[in-house]
Amino acid sequence: MCLCAVFVALGFAQDDPKSQSDRAAARIKALQAESDQLAAQARTVFGELRRLELERAIKQAEVDRVETELARVTVARDNAADHVATLEAERIQQTPGIKERLVELAKRGRGGYVQMLLSTDDVRAVARMARGVAAVAELDRVRVEAHRRTIAEEREALKDLDNQRDAVARLQHDATEARRAAETAVAARNRMLQDLDLRRNLAAQYVTELQHAQLELDRTIDSAEAASRTASLPIRPFKGDLPWPITGEVTSRFGRVSSGRFGTTIVRNGIEVAAAEGTEAKAVHEGTVAYAAPFSGFGTLVIVDHGSSAFTLYGHLLQATVTAGASVRRGTVVGRVGMAPSGAPALYFEVRIDGRPVDPLQWLARLRH
């Protein structure tokens, strides 16, 4: 037998319109307070968003500045490298024959050099040759030393520019990351504002539904036909405010969960709440009992119809204390907790909106985690 087959519309409860009207008024007040709180929160988030957008603009300007500096340093570094290459070329042009002369002197050695000087009988020629050789050697030495100093200075400057470029590149990376972080924060605040607007709109919708229901209840109370007319509160405006059917720890949650050592998944349409066997399970909202009987896999099952294709299910019951067609209030005992298929006492609880299962924890009051 399919569980969905038992979902049949049996109408609304006609139970205590005055208490329902009072409950609607209390919920409207709570929703309006929530709406005011959301509006205040939205204003705060909007202020934070403006600040973050300004910070993002500052970070972008910082990125632009650092990228400009990096381009400047890179050009300066490349120019310095070109200058070093040019100096090396000039050195080669300005010192012709140095290498050859040094090689020749090395080949001759000290004796060969003396022999070259003594190869003529003219003393004055010898002196001139000696002075010439010394002058050329000194000129070569001066040129080489000057070149070495210049090259060393230019290479030191090139090294400094390389260090500057690396430092600016790190600044560019840091500035880019800071800009991305600012953009992420702005996007998060935008999503938060959208969520707050959605929640405010939903609260306003719930208030409208409750005000309409409360008006109908008030008319029922004032009418001489109160005993025969039907009126009830819709369940949707009470999302997040429904009382728990029992007090206990949630041992099985809604949705897809892993099962077994092979990593297979199963889909759970409701939750299981641990409780001692025999604990009273109570209706979370007024409605009409649509089903109260044993059901395969759920022990004894009670289904309460809240109207507009909204239902709550109470399973793994030891016994039901209500019968099909009965009207129930919030807090009415619908059954007593029995054993779950796992062998431990627990209540199975499910919420269906528009005929589809939804996470019960999103509908129950946040009294526990």
- What DSSP character marks residue 11? -
Using alpha carbons, list the distances in angstroms from residue 182 to 53, 61, 169, 333, 355: 8, 13, 20, 54, 43
- The Cα 199–Cα 35 span in angstroms is 8
Last residue of a domain, one of 230, 256, 276: 230
Q: Give the position of tokens 């405006």.
A: 237
Residues 53, 186 within the same domain: yes
Q: Please compute the mean of the pLDDT values over residues 129-136 and round it to a whole number.
A: 64
CA distances from 177 to 56, 73, 190, 281, 349 (A): 11, 21, 20, 55, 48
pLDDT average, residue stretch 329-354: 93
pTM score of the predicted model: 0.54
CATH number, domain at 191? 1.10.287
Domain membership flag for residue 4: no
Q: How far apart are CA 302 and CA 313, in angstroms?
A: 6
271: left (phi over 0), alpha (psi -120 to 50) or beta: beta
Tokens 């077994």 map to which residue?
A: 260
Asked if residue 178 and residue 104 are part of one domain, the reply reads: yes
Q: Is residue 271 within 8 Å of 253, Cβ to Cβ?
A: yes
Tokens 């890179």, residue? 74
CA–CA dist 210, 58 (Å, integer) = 48
How many residues appear in the chain? 369
CATH for 334: 2.70.70.10
* pLDDT value, residue 213: 60
Residue 196 shares a structural domain with residue 123: yes
Mean pLDDT of the chain: 76
Specify whether 166 is located in the same domain as 29.
yes
The residue from 230, 252, 269 where one domain ends is: 230
190 and 275, same structural domain?
no
Q: pLDDT, tens digit, for every residue of 111-127?
A: 555 555 556 566 566 56
Residue closest to 239 by CA, chosen among 272, 202, 275, 196: 202
**Rounded to the nearest 10 degrees, how much is the dihedral formed by the CA atoms of 281, 287, 289, 294?**
-40
pLDDT of residue 155: 76
Does residue 113 share a domain with residue 238? Answer: no
Residues 215 and 278 in one domain: no
Q: Do 136 and 218 belong to one domain? A: yes
Q: Which structural domain range is residue 133 located in?
A: 15-230
Whether residue 177 is found in the same domain as residue 114: yes
293 and 350 both lie in a single domain: yes
If you search the block for the tokens 């509160």, which residue do you land on?
233
Do residues 60 and 191 share a domain? Answer: yes
Please count the structural domains in the chain. 2
The confidence band for 303, taking pLDDT boundaries of 50, 70 and 90, is very high
When pLDDT is averaged across residues 21-46 and rounded to a whole number, the result is 79
Q: What is the mean pLDDT of residues 311-338?
A: 94
20 pLDDT band, cuts 50/70/90, is confident
Q: Which residues pair with 266 in a beta bridge?
A: 257
2 assigned to some structural domain: no
Cross-strand bridge partners of residue 304: 289, 312
Same domain, 323 and 199: no
Q: Which of 179, 202, 230 is the endpoint of a domain? A: 230
Task: Round to the nearest angstrom and report the end-to-end CA distance of the chain.
Answer: 34
